[in-house]
Amino acid sequence: MHIISLSEFRANASAMIDRVERGETVRILRHGKPVAELVPAQSSAPEKLPSWKRPIKPLEYQRADGKTLAQLIIEERESARY
């Protein structure tokens, strides 16, 4: 782990990113206290979407008589009086 001050990080941000790309962890200190850690990204694990962002699977409902919703609507429209 490489430990640097915030001012050193500001001056050498690109070099620190290079270190992280090589697999190192960089800890950043402000006034001697740790405030952040840069760690290599884990590209091998697929990113999992939260449930509210996943596509909704269509509901597959079938009536006892085998008619679809579209067929019922068509029948209703054909029987309606204008």
Domain of 8, CATH number, reads 3.40.1620.10
Residue 34 lies in a domain: yes
Q: Which domain holds residue 32?
A: 1-41
pLDDT of residue 44: 62
77 within some domain: no
- Does residue 58 sit within a domain? no
* Confidence at residue 36, expressed as pLDDT on a 0 to 100 scale: 96
- pLDDT tens digits, residue range 52-81? 888 888 877 777 888 888 888 899 999 887
Nearest to 60 by CA among 69, 51, 71, 73: 69
Please state, in angstroms and rounded to a whole number, the distance separating the CA atoms of residues 5 and 28. Answer: 6
Sheet strands (E) in the chain:
2-5, 26-30, 33-38
In a domain, 13, yes or no: yes
Tokens of 13: 């941000």
Domain count, the chain: 1
- Can you tell me the mean pLDDT for 21-30? 95
Is pLDDT of 45 > 80? no
pLDDT average, residue stretch 34-56: 84
